[in-house]
A and B are shown apart, each in its own frame.
Chain A
Amino acid sequence: MATNDAGLSLTQQRQRAAFWFIVPMLAALFFVAAWPLLRTIWFSLTDTKLSALYGGSWIGFDNYLSLRILESGRWVWRGTLVDPAWWNAVWNTVRFAFVSVFFETVLGLIVALVLNAEFKGRGLVRAAILIPWAIPTIVSAKMWAWMLNDQFGILNDIALKLGLISQKIAWTASVDTAMYAVLMVDIWKTTPFMALLILAGLQMVPRDIYEAAKLDGINPVKVFFRITLPLIRPALAVAIIFRMLDALRIFDLVYVLTPNSKATKTMSVISRENMIDFDKFAYGAAQSTLLFAIIAIFVSLYIWLGKVDLSGEGQK
């Protein structure tokens, strides 16, 4: 009994120490995350301007949606929720997120399978795929902007020589191709990250399973879909959600690669534009609040439906 008593007080002592270890971190996170988020939501309910941050007054949900009935009896809806530019940005973001994550997952899976095989020069390949990941996004955007340049770009040159296109394309400037340009660069830059996450999952699949399947003469394709894929599903689910969240908030690549293009403007880009460039601070705050809400709903649904254990506590 005596040891039990001592153990209890030790536990209490440890818990008290833990409390004081966690408080500074939580205070810092409150200061830079929770508080600014609450202020953003507050701003979205006012008519604050960038030039007078404290001069705004409460206007309720007018930045989101408001109805004015004119004397002629016409109904006029205003606010972000009836703003075609906003819905264009929503559509751009969602389209970008799904297409890019889809390709990154498929290509990442292929790269991960290659890296999981034993072959000469594997270390070299792994080093090579880390390069796109290590390059700052802004630098990749500039590099690709140059390669995609309409007159002097190397990609037009290659495509012309291969006969894939009949004339040079203004990839980043044209409304039809701007989204492809953004997708191309993002897929190039992020597939390595995806591949590494999936590879970590693959390496936990015991090798003897493959040996057994090989002995039984089972088709490798079947092995992949029946054995490998189900076993790496948890790793895959986590990798996809991380990428999806990143894709939904994309800002820098779009901002630098295709400035002011209607075809690629995402939710983050349009929010910042309103907030900082157009002096519609509160309106931009409303749009960024909506983006936050969309992401929060998406995450909750995904975790709930997929029963994804993100905290890693389950393994203990």
Chain B
Amino acid sequence: MTAQKLLSTVGFYALVVVIVVFSVFPFYYAIVTSFATGTELFKVNYLPKSFNWANYSQVLGQPNFIRSIGNSVFIATTTVVFALFLAVTASYALARVRFQGRGLLLMAILAVSMFPQIAVLAGLFELVRFLGIFNTPWAMILSYVIFTLPFTVWVLTTFMRDLPVEIEEAAIVDGATPWIIITRVFLPLLWPALVTTGLLAFIGAWNEFLFALTFTSSETTRTVPVAIALLSGASQQEIPWGPIMAASVIVTVPLIILVLIFQRKIVAGLTAGGVKG
């Protein structure tokens, strides 16, 4: 019996190790590669042989790469602020006020977040051209509303539903209007939810590729994913793996740190909503 128990414990921890290695190894290997230069790249190294920062200085020495980081930060931040602003009031109405067609409206919002983005690409392309914002950050800020807004509304609605009804009733008795209830009563309670939702929306906007690829046409307006996807070497045949990995590490490390800091909140945010049904 104890032998069997020992065996199952060993098996369990072996599984745990497999899961961890499988999850972490590709990123670990990207880091190892980012420190390799020259012929070192063409030998498979499981452990870092040297710490050569040449790839990093090469990537960070490209003004366009720095610009694309700036573009991504600006676009993602603006998108998130805009989405949260619209979502807070809307989700209050959806979560706390009973009215006809509420369920239908929620379903419609969810449906938008499930849209295949390609289905709106042609129409958005026309809109972006019409507004004269092609090849500017505003093209992305406009188009990212399509996935950040439904998502933030959805998650904030589920968070607001869980706030105790007594607080709101007390405020109503004191004669507070809905606007006062949102700004003075709910917002202070909601800020953890806002941080989570904002962070998730930020990651979504930071990672978006299809719109950013289609609505930019010059190197200076690219976002980070487009810049990395189109990073090319001196010749067509030669793919600059070292700098690509360095660039990948640069744009991923901040995300990973954020995710690890907020991991509990993120898990709560990701699983908020339908899963509870």
Contacts and interface: CB of A to CB of B under 8 A. Distances in A.
A117 B12 CA distance: 10
Interface stretch (B57-65, B82-90, B184-192): B82-90
Contacts of A180: none
Interface in A216-243: 234-235, 238-239, 242
Contacts of A271: 118, 121
A94 interface: no
Nearest to B248: A139
Interface in A184-211: 188, 192-193, 196-197, 199-201, 204
Nearest to A158: B44
B133 to A, nearest CB: 13
Interface string A15-58: 10111011011001101110111111001100000000100000
Interface in A286-305: 288-289, 291-292, 295, 299
A137 B209 contact: yes
A112 to B, nearest CB: 11
A242 B275 CA distance: 11
B48 interface: no
Interface residues of B, number: 99
A309 to B, nearest CB: 4
Nearest to A239: B275
Given A21-B178, A29-B149, A143-B248, A137 B12 contact: no
A312 B276 contact: yes
Interface string A249-269: 101100110000000000110
Interface of A is mostly: helix
Interface string B81-117: 0000011011011100111001101110111101111
A68 interface: no
B178 A18 contact: yes
Nearest to A201: B275
A125 B146 contact: no
B19 A312 contact: no
A15 B117 CA distance: 33
B16 A18 contact: no
A125 B20 contact: yes
A132 interface: yes
B1 to A, nearest CB: 13
B23 interface: yes
B73 interface: no
A131 B103 contact: no
Contacts of B44: 152-154, 157
B195 interface: no
Contact of B116 (A128, A146, A152, A291): A291
Contacts of A245: 114, 116
Q: List 5 tightest A-B contacts by C-beta distance, closest first.
A: A36-B123, A39-B123, A18-B93, A200-B271, A249-B116
18 contacts: A13-B178, A17-B93, A17-B178, A32-B143, A33-B120, A37-B120, A40-B119, A114-B19, A121-B16, A129-B23, A136-B255, A138-B207, A147-B26, A154-B29, A256-B229, A268-B118, A276-B214, A310-B107
Given A193-B270, A309-B277, 20 more contacts: A10-B172, A11-B98, A14-B97, A17-B97, A18-B93, A25-B87, A32-B145, A53-B126, A53-B129, A121-B16, A136-B225, A136-B255, A138-B207, A147-B29, A196-B271, A248-B116, A251-B209, A252-B209, A281-B122, A288-B119
Interface of B: 12-13, 15-16, 19-20, 22-24, 26-27, 29-30, 33, 41-44, 46, 86-87, 89-90, 92-94, 97-99, 102-103, 105-107, 109-112, 114-127, 129, 142-143, 145-146, 149-150, 153, 158, 161, 172, 177-179, 203, 206-207, 209-210, 213-214, 224-226, 228-229, 241, 244-245, 248, 251-252, 255-256, 258-260, 263, 266-267, 270-271, 273-277
